[in-house]
Amino acid sequence: MIQPHGGTLVNRIATGARKAELEAKANNITTLTLEDRYGADIEMIAVGAFSPLTGFMGKADSESAIEHMKLTNGLAWGIPILLPVGDDYDSLSVGEEIALNDKDGRLLAVMTIDEKFELDLANLSQKCFGTTEDKHPGVAAILRGGNKFISGPLEMINRPVRHDAIDDKYFIDPADTRAEFEKRGWNTIVAFQTRNPIHRAHEYLIKCAQEIVDGALIHPIVGETKSDDIPAPVRMKCYEALIAGYFNPANTHLSVLPTAMRYAGPREAINHTLIRKNYGCTHMIIGRDHAGVGSYYGPFDAHDIFDEIPVGFVLYATMVGLVWLAVLRLPILERRFALVLLATLAVAMLPLTWEDHKQVWFILAVLLGMSQAPRVGWPEGSGRAAPLRPALRRPRPGRMEPVTASRRHAGPETTP
């Protein structure tokens, strides 16, 4: 099983006598009322989804994430996890314990203040969201909170109230998804992040990935999203229907991610990947305009940003690995021919730049992956779909047919 980000899965959930102690203490300490998005962050910190964080981030880590996309300890991190306090800033003191409540006055956590600090919101917005325009929903949330923050470790006492009608069975903590993966015998797991219903290109992509891993975690965000996004309960019905009718339940798992969307595009793709690592996933599907909004990001900016952080080489190596895995699944004569071509290609590519190498291997991975793509439906009484050779089959109703895919054309213009 892959290690959590930083090596240890954080657990900041107060239980038993400790929970009772903190509940009693909360009656006699300063209280802060939080927006729902920060209540969601409390849960994400406490259950270990934001590991290695044990609380809201301080100034040094925040500035390091903003400027260099990593924490001060060198671990990759795309967007700082911040707690703005607005007008309460001057009344709070370092070392003080405070209660964090939701907008209905319900106790969520007790936090110890380690630091009070300010950040340049214009710089934060430009670096993390690519704009300072307040019509960007992520920037609007940052500006609404103000530039005065506190940081420090917290202990969660109660989880945020679930406002949407989503079955509790889908709210699964990282420790529990990891246990489920071990129970199923999965060592390699691909995560699919979404805030929309899954369309046919998404389905195709997930099934291609399932051909080289043990299982897939379909992991939609159900926290705060834009008002014009499709409501989470509606989306959940879509996911349930799709998994029941078009995926193999034996290697597909559905659970939800109760965090807010930041709409930070490439930067959010980094955080989304690290979160899924904490949930036990070894691979992540990064889609076209991942976590994007409007026209703030290019369609493949969320791909390119991984070249700027240490995992970029891992993604490159994964593409090379995908090519070789696909080749090894070919019939013997085709495999020999493909190996000769790849060997010739490898020699011819020696003078090329690093960027050219990545482009070539990506295209090969896509083309060979398409040649091994599974069908949309599962044959009656069969656990897995037979490989489909797209170029040799005519389109039939109810079956996934090939798309002309390359790095610059990966299906409909739909944001994951």
Residues with a catalytic annotation lie at 195-196
Dmax over CA atoms of the chain, in Å, equals 76
Burial of 228 (0-12, 13-18, 19+ CB in 10 A): exposed
* Amino acid (1-letter code) at residue 148: K
Give the DSSP letter string of 4-18. PTTSS----B--HHH
217, 177 Cβ separation under 8 angstroms = yes
Nearest to 264 by CA among 113, 66, 96: 66
Residue 9 is encoded by which pair of tokens?
């899965």
How does strand 55-56 pair with strand 283-285? unpaired
Tokens 């040094």 correspond to: 60
Phi and psi at 325, nearest 5°, equal -60, -45
Q: CA neighbours within 13 Å on the CB side: how many for 158?
A: 14
User: How many Cβ atoms sit within 10 Å of the Cβ of residue 299?
Assistant: 17
96, 30 Cβ separation under 8 angstroms = yes
CA dist., res. 306 & res. 413, Å (int): 21
User: How many Cβ atoms sit within 10 Å of the Cβ of residue 28?
Assistant: 8
Q: Return the DSSP state at 247.
A: S
CA dist., res. 261 & res. 42, Å (int): 15
